[in-house]
Amino acid sequence: MGYGGSCFPKDVKPLIVFSNRVDYAPIILQAVEEVNENQAKHTVKKKQKRS
């Protein structure tokens, strides 16, 4: 599963947007977001294989 909690996803996305606006490359934040999205997809695929 990806990261949890209701605030963390809402915090990461605006930080990425803000970072881009001030010409800062939010490499780690983007990686966190990408890994989280991929983890959710990976979990669904694993569940489907077991069904």
**pLDDT tens across 11-43, in order?**
999 999 999 999 999 999 999 999 888 887 888
25 phi/psi in degrees, rounded to 5: -80, 110
Domain boundaries defined on the chain: 7-50
Report yes or no: 12 and 50 within 8 Å, Cβ to Cβ.
no
Q: What is the pLDDT of residue 2?
A: 65
Task: Give CA–CA dist 31/16, Å, rounded.
Answer: 11
